[in-house]
Structure formats: structure tokens, C-alpha cells
């Protein structure tokens, strides 16, 4: 192939490199009102009164809006296709505040100085309520976080809001208890993953203005332009036809921008004043008043016979959705379905879950979307099982994992067309030097090097829900314009979709011009999430180009030389990954560093191997951060304790050692040019692989993330038998 499967430079590489790329704040009008939000200092309270008298005396203040001034329409901020499975449990401003950071008033003025001064002069009185901060105590707590009568869900999600239960459900195949009775070895453990922040470079930001016809225009750094239009229409109580959404360059999202966070505040100001308005989150707001990964506690019960055949898997997940239910009912499902499906040889599986409300910042979408948490839990349990069986953990996996042609009950009954996972494991084994290094090597009296492994799968879009359209036109001069609704958030999707168009049309890449997303002009796309863009939007591009070729070959007459196509898939073929970590641990201090991480990925046909490699390396680094450093925690009053990069630590280049990536290509017949997704699967293996290596180094099992040096040291101190036994070898 000429362009597909080639490491072509990103089409926007030079503009990014030279600082010429245009982002949301670059496009904002100079006369925009500055918009900021007064946020609750309390985790749970009811507002008795808000006095704006002193605040509105500040020169330059245009308006201050409270719960009295917003539409009384419940909505969800989750960027999901209608009817959204997430509950409608929000107002733009509510009299009830449910976490430290919940908005209470929107202030708009001609300068940042005026707005900052006004915010300090807003006087609020409260009835303080007893907050629910511990997800283990949330169910049936005396405090009901959502007592409102107009709370709404679009379907059955196992919701009991008066019990603080956002969602619940179960799945089973086979007789789990009967299979456990046949097992000679059973692991029964609880694993705990804390919330993480997406930590993208560009914080949340949006601006709005009325156009010449009085329509509301929202320009935003978002992954979901068309969902923004629909959700804003619901929240603002105006028709979708009165809203236009524009997406410029996006400085990273990782799922954070699959939720409306900043868009509604300036939009409401514009509607009230008729003037342009802009809101830019600072870093502290992005940490404390947006969304995070869902904290989860996952009980895993897994059993095998003496030969290492896994007979039964049982998983039970408790997920903390925080104060609101964005993505709560959907992330939790992936914690079981995407993890258990790897072991399709099991005779019986069972998955149950509960999602609870607490008075903490709401959780949302983050790369991996629940599968990351479930993979840590189940892969850690499999590694513990291998120890009890005295079996090489890689051999245990090879004996039990799914294969091409399998129909997987736990994966929604789908049949797997392409699965080179065994080859991924074997290649990774060779790259990391497993046979030489497993389980550990002593390199000094107090320093140990050890290796660990894990596998993962994800999906490629949401079957029968994700939908993408593309339009391609022949332009005067012999080039093509490609119109898409997918949002490039730095991943390079504009480039790979242009590669597919060029390959389909038989032209050079420089003949393809990709337009940015504008809901007035771009064809519909559900958005860039759920690892859908390459697989779903890519197929829409291929279909449109094939239709255009047919018109050209039929000698179609200008201006008829354009074609459109829409694609939705009934299946979601999973990509696979085998991940291997080598760590070095100081047994006197607990300090642990990743010396090397090897990732072998199956994403079908890599459309652009260079960009696929960057995606993989980035996901691995984020996974290392989740494993060793990143932790969202709260004090006893519900205030987040780490709200800047001074406290919330993400790994730098010096912290991740050597990262090596290879691809084990397969061909997915339902994907464009045989492609599957790659964006999310790559974050899932570092946590369990590093936990495995820590066990091999020090003989301890850490079942809670992050696994900090302090945690390792204290665990070694508590389990004194593990430490000396390693040093004697």
C-alpha cells in the first residue's frame, strides 16, 4: 500500500512544532466577557441565600447568575449517544451543592481582576449536611445525595437513587459455584484502584457568542462536538437548531473532554447578556471541578484445576461515581466484561457491580474507561494464581486465553475474528528476556531487579451505537476536501483518515485537505471516544471514497463529484496487548523505578505505525503513572488534597525507563484496511505488570494503587519474612 501502513508525518506536525496551531483560546474574541464560577467550600450543603449586592458594585461586572437564573432542566454532562445511559441528575446551577467545587454562581465581567474581586464579595449562607465520603458506606447512608423529585434516567440501569445507588447489574454464564467446587486452587482477593486525573496539557476552556442570526455559537476544546450541541440544548432549554459548535485544535483530552465541563457557563452568559463570553479553567479547577477516573474496589475470585485450567471467574465491582453519575453506569461494565473475556476457556463466569454516589468530584471518562481498573484486578489475581500453582504466569495465560474464532459470552456474545495474543505474549517474552530475568535478579546487597507481565484487551467503538459520517469532494485544481465529524485531540486522527482517503482514491497525501469540525458544516459523528475513530470513522471515509470513485468512473458531471457515507458497526473487535515490566527496587527504602517496559500490541493493520507507536508509548507512560504515583485523595471534610502538579505527580521522561513497542499485526475483516483500535488498550497492562514485578522483587502483593515507595516500604516492614527471604537468595 502507498499511504496506509506507512509512518507518514502528521499533517499538522509543523504547525504544532512552530506554535502556529490554533486552539480555543486563540480564537476567542478580544471583547469576550471573562467568566468564572464561585464554587462550594462544602462537600454537602443546601444554599439558604446568596447575596450579590456587594459583588455587583464592582466596576466592570456584567452579571452574576445563581440557581434562580438557570433553566430548571435536569441533564447529564456525559458525552454519550441519546438516550444517554447516564442519569439526568444535574442542573447548571443547583440550590444543593454536592462536593467541594460544585458551582454556586456564574460571574461575568469585562476583566479578570473585576471578576476575581466580585467572587470574593458574594455572600452565601448554607444549611450544612452530613457528607458521604466513603464509597463503602454510601449505600443506604442516612444522607441521600440526590433527593430531588425530577431525577431522571432514560432506561433501566439498576438505579435506586434513594439508596445512593447510581447503577447496578450482573452477568453470568455457566454454573460458577459448581465450577469452583471442582477447583484445587482458588484466589479470592480485593483490589483497589484510586481515582486519577487525565492531566492533559490544555485545561478545559470554551467561549461563546451570538451569530448574525441570533444563534448561540460555542467554540470548545472538546472530543464530542455533536454531543455538546445536544446536551447544551437540553441544559439551556433551547432547540438544537439554535446552537452551533466549533472544535479547533485540542491540546489533549484522554477522556476528560468527553464530558461537558466548561461549555455551559459562558453559553449561559451569552444567552443572558447577548455578548461574547469566555471561560478558561486554571489547573486547580481542572483537578478539583471536572471529572476523574472512577475509583473502584474489585473483588476477584478465580479458580483452576491442578493442571492450570481456569474453571471459574467471579468479579464484583464497587465503583465510586462521585456526586454525579456521568459515565457511571457504563465504565463499570468494562471492568468485568473486558477483563474476564481474555480467559474464554473458563467454564463459568459471573460479574456483578454497584455504582454509588458520594460527595466527591464526579468521575467520568478516562482512557481505558473501566477496563483499566478491571485489568489490574484480574491480571493481578491471575499472577497470584500462577504462584499458587507454581506455574510460569505466561504459560498459565497461554493455556487459558481466547483465540481467533472464539465466541465470547462475556464479550457480549461476539465472535473474535483476529487474535494474535499468543504471538504477542511470545514476542514480549523474548524482548524482555523473560527466561533470563524471571522472577528476579539480585544486583547489589539491597537492590533487586524483577520482571512482571500482564495482558489486556479493549474494543473498537460501541457496537450499534457509535456512528460516523464522512464526505469527500473533488475541488477545482484536482484536490479533495475530506469532511469529518471526528475530533482530533492530538491523536493524529486527521492524518490517518487522510491516509485512508488517499489510499482509497489513489492520490498523494498532499491532495487531501481535512476540515475541522463545525456542527453546521461537518457530517455527524458521535465523537472521538471508545476507541472508535480509526475503526468506525475510518470505514465511513473508505465508503465515501469508494462511492466517489464510482461517480468519477461513471464520468459524473461537476458539481456532482462528491460523495457521503455513514458507518456503524454491529461488532467491536478487540485489540490486544501483552505488557512486560522490569523494575529495580531498593529494599531499604521501597523506591521502585521502571527500568524497561515492553509492549506488544495487536491493532489489526496499523494505519500509521509511527503514530500507533506514539499512542502506545503514551498509554504505557500514563499506566506507569497510575501504578506508581497518581492518587486523588480527600481530607475528612471532602476537600481534594492534590490540586496541582506540585502535589499530584505524573511521571516525567526520567521516571519511565526504556519503553519498547512492537506490533503483532493481524487483519480485521470488519475494519478499514484490516484495522482495529489502539488508543485505549495500551494503558491497561502497566499497573498489573508492575505489581507482578514488585511481588517478584520483594515477595509482597500490593493490591491497591498507587504503589508508592512509602507503601512498599511499610508493607515490607509489616511483612518482615518477605524481605530477608529475598536478600538471602
pLDDT tens sequence across 142-192: 999 999 999 999 999 999 999 999 999 999 999 999 999 999 999 999 999
d(CA 178, CA 311): 10
Helix (H, G, I), strand (E, B) or coil at 681: helix
Range 275-279 average pLDDT:
98
Question: How far is it, in rounded angstroms, from Cα 541 to Cα 652?
Answer: 37
Confirm if 78 and 302 have CB atoms less than 8 A apart. no
> How large a percentage of the chain has pLDDT more than 90?
96
C-beta separation of 130 from 143 below 8 A: yes
Q: How many CB atoms lie within 10 A of CB 620?
A: 28
- Rounded mean pLDDT, 343-368: 98
0.85 exceeded by the pTM?
A: yes
Please provide the CATH number assigned to the domain covering 417-459+572-729. 3.30.365.10
Q: How far apart are CA 2 and CA 24, in angstroms?
A: 35
The single residue listed with the C-alpha cell 496487548 is 577
Pick from 631, 641, 656, 634: nearest CA to 199:
631
Measured distance CA(385)–CA(400) in Å, rounded? 13
Cell of 568: 456503524
Q: Is the peptide bond before 653 cis (omega within 30 degrees of 0)?
A: no
CA-to-CA separations, 586 to 349, 398, 432, 452, 698, in angstroms, rounded? 39, 32, 21, 17, 10
Which of 71-75, 420-424, 652-656 has the lowest average pLDDT? 652-656
Phi-psi map region of 308: left, alpha, beta (phi>0 left; psi -120 to 50 alpha): left
What's 132-195+297-405's CATH class? alpha beta
For residue 83, cis peptide bond before it (omega within 30 degrees of 0): yes
5: left (phi over 0), alpha (psi -120 to 50) or beta: left
Say how far apart CA 426 and CA 288 lie, in whole Å.
Answer: 43
Residue with cell 501502513: 5
Structural contact between residues 393 and 693, judged by C-beta atoms closer than 8 angstroms = no
> What residues contact 425, with CB distance under 8 A and at least 6 apart?
394, 397, 398, 453, 455, 578, 600
Where exactly does CATH 3.90.1170.50 map onto the chain?
Answer: 24-129+198-288
Do 509 and 549 contact (CB within 8 A), yes or no?
no
**pLDDT reported for residue 721:** 52
pLDDT in tens, 97-116: 999 999 999 999 999 999 99
**Residues sharing a CB contact under 8 Å with residue 432, sequence separation 6 or more, in sequence order:** 451, 580, 582, 596, 598
- The answer to whether the beta carbons of residues 339 and 305 sit under 8 Å apart is no
Let me know if domain 462-567 sits in CATH 3.30.365.10. Answer: yes
Q: Which grid cell is 113?
A: 481582576
Choosing among 3.40.50.2300, 3.90.1170.50, 3.40.630.10, 3.10.20.30, the CATH entry for 24-129+198-288 is 3.90.1170.50
pLDDT band with cut points at 50, 70 and 90 for residue 729:
very low
H-helix or E-strand containing 673? none
User: What pLDDT does 726 receive?
Assistant: 52
Edge-first strand listing for the sheet containing 592-602? 440-442, 447-457, 576-586, 592-602, 658-663
Cβ atoms 358, 279 nearer than 8 A: no
Omega before 706 within 30 of 0, i.e. cis: yes
Which residue ranges does the chain devote to CATH 3.30.365.10? 132-195+297-405, 417-459+572-729, 462-567
Burial (CB count within 10 angstroms: exposed 0-12, middle 13-18, buried 19+), residue 12? middle
As a whole number, mean pLDDT of residues 423-443 equals 97
For residue 558, is pLDDT > 80? Answer: no
Q: Which of 168, 145, 195, 177 minimizes the C-alpha distance to 297?
A: 195
Determine what percent of the chain is predicted with pLDDT higher than 70. Answer: 98
Cα radius of gyration rounded to whole Å, the chain: 26
Spatial distance between the Cα atoms of 575 and 566, rounded to a whole number of angstroms: 23
User: What local confidence, expressed as pLDDT, does residue 556 receive?
Assistant: 87
The reported pLDDT for the residue numbered 719 is: 82
Short-list 187, 201, 262, 220, CA closest to 36: 262
List, in order, residues 6 or more apart from 38 with CB less than 8 Å away. Answer: 103, 104, 105, 106, 107, 119, 122, 124
252: left (phi over 0), alpha (psi -120 to 50) or beta: left
Amino acid at each position: 500500500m502507498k499511504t496506509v501502513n506507512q509512518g507518514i508525518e502528521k499533517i499538522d506536525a509543523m504547525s504544532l512544532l512552530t506554535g502556529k496551531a490554533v486552539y480555543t483560546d486563540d480564537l476567542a474574541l478580544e471583547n469576550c466577557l471573562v467568566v468564572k464560577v464561585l464554587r462550594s467550600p462544602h462537600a454537602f450543603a443546601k444554599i439558604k441565600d446568596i447575596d450579590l449586592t456587594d459583588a455587583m458594585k464592582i466596576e466592570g461586572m456584567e452579571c452574576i447568575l445563581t440557581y434562580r437564573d438557570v433553566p430548571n432542566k435536569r441533564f447529564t454532562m456525559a458525552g454519550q449517544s441519546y438516550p444517554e445511559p447516564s442519569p439526568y441528575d444535574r442542573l447548571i446551577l443547583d440550590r444543593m451543592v454536592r462536593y467541594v467545587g460544585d458551582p454556586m454562581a456564574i460571574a461575568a465581567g469585562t476583566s479578570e481582576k473585576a471578576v476575581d474581586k466580585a467572587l470574593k464579595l458574594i455572600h452565601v449562607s448554607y444549611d450544612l449536611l452530613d457528607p458521604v465520603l466513603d464509597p463503602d458506606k454510601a449505600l443506604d447512608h442516612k444522607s441521600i445525595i440526590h433527593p430531588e423529585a425530577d431525577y431522571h434516567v432514560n432506561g433501566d440501569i439498576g438505579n435506586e437513587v434513594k439508596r445512593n445507588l447510581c447503577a447496578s447489574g450482573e452477568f453470568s454464564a455457566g454454573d460458577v459455584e459448581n465450577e469452583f467446587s471442582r477447583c484445587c486452587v482458588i484466589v479470592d482477593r480485593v483490589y483497589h484502584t484510586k481515582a486519577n486525573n487525565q492531566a492533559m496539557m490544555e485545561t478545559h476552556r470554551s467561549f461563546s457568542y451570538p451569530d448574525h442570526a441570533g444563534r448561540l455559537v460555542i467554540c470548545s476544546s472538546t472530543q464530542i462536538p455533536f454531543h455538546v450541541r445536544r446536551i447544551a440544548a437540553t441544559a439551556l432549554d433551547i432547540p438544537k437548531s439554535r446552537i452551533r459548535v466549533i472544535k479547533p485544535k485540542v491540546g489533549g483530552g484522554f477522556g476528560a473532554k468527553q464530558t461537558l465541563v466548561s461549555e455551559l457557563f459562558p453559553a449561559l452568559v451569552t444567552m443572558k447578556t447577548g455578548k461574547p463570553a469566555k471561560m478558561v479553567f486554571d489547573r486547580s479547577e481542572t483537578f478539583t471541578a471536572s471529572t476523574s477516573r472512577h475509583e473502584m474496589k474489585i473483588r476477584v475470585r478465580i479458580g483452576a484445576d491442578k493442571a492450570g485450567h481456569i474453571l471459574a471467574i467471579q468479579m464484583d465491582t464497587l465503583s465510586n461515581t462521585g456526586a454525579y453519575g456521568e459515565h457511571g453506569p457504563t465504565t463499570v461494565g468494562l471492568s468485568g466484561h473486558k477483563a474476564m473475556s481474555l480467559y474464554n476457556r473458563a467454564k463459568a463466569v459471573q460479574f456483578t457491580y454497584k455504582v454509588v454516589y458520594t460527595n466527591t468530584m464526579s468521575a467520568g471518562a478516562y482512557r481505558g474507561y473501566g477496563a483499566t481498573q478491571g485489568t489490574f484486578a484480574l491480571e493481578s489475581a491471575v499472577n497470584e494464581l500462577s504462584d499458587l500453582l507454581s506455574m510460569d504466569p505466561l504459560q498459565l495465560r497461554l493455556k487459558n486465553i481466547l483465540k481467533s474464532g472464539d465466541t465470547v459470552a462475556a464479550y457480549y456474545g461476539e465472535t473474535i475474528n483476529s487474535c494474535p495474543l499468543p504471538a504477542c505474549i511470545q514476542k514480549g517474552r523474548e524482548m524482555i528476556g523473560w527466561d533470563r530475568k524471571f522472577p528476579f535478579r539480585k544486583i547489589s546487597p539491597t537492590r533487586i531487579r524483577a520482571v512482571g507481565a500482564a495482558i489486556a484487551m479493549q474494543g473498537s467503538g460501541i457496537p450499534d451505537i457509535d456512528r460516523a459520517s464522512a464526505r469527500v469532494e473533488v475541488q477545482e485544481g484536482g484536490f479533495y476536501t475530506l469532511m469529518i465529524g471526528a475530533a482530533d485531540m492530538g491523536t493524529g486522527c486527521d492524518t490517518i483518515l487522510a491516509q485512508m482517503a488517499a489510499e482509497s482514491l489513489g492520490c498523494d497525501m498532499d491532495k487531501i485537505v481535512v476540515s475541522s469540525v463545525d456542527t453546521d458544516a461537518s457530517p455527524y459523528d458521535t465523537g472521538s471516544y471508545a476507541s472508535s475513530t480509526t475503526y468506525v470513522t475510518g470505514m465511513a471515509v473508505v465508503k465515501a471514497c469508494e462511492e466517489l470513485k464510482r461517480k468519477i468512473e461513471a464520468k459524473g458531471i461537476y458539481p456532482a463529484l462528491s460523495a457521503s457515507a455513514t458507518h456503524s458497526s454491529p461488532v467491536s473487535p478487540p485489540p490486544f496487548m501483552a505488557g512486560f515490566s522490569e523494575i529495580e527496587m531498593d529494599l531499604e527504602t521501597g523506591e521502585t523505578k521502571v527500568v524497561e517496559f515492553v509492549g506488544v500490541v495487536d491493532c489489526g493493520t496499523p494505519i500509521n505505525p509511527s503514530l500507533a507507536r506514539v499512542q502506545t508509548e503514551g498509554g504505557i507512560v500514563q499506566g506507569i503513572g497510575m501504578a506508581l504515583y497518581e492518587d486523588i485523595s480527600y481530607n475528612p471534610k471532602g476537600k481534594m488534597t492534590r490540586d496541582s502538579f506540585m502535589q499530584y505527580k505524573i511521571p516525567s521522561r526520567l521516571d519511565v525507563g526504556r519503553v519498547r513497542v512492537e506490533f503483532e499485526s493481524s487483519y480485521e475483516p470488519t475494519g478499514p484496511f484490516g484495522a482495529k483500535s489502539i488508543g485505549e488498550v495500551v494503558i491497561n497492562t502497566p499497573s498489573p505488570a508492575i505489581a507482578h514485578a514488585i511481588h517478584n522483587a520483594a515477595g509482597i502483593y500490593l493490591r491497591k494503587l498507587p504503589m508508592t515507595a512509602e507503601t512498599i516500604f511499610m508493607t515490607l516492614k509489616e511483612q518482615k519474612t518477605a524481605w530477608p527471604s529475598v536478600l538471602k537468595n
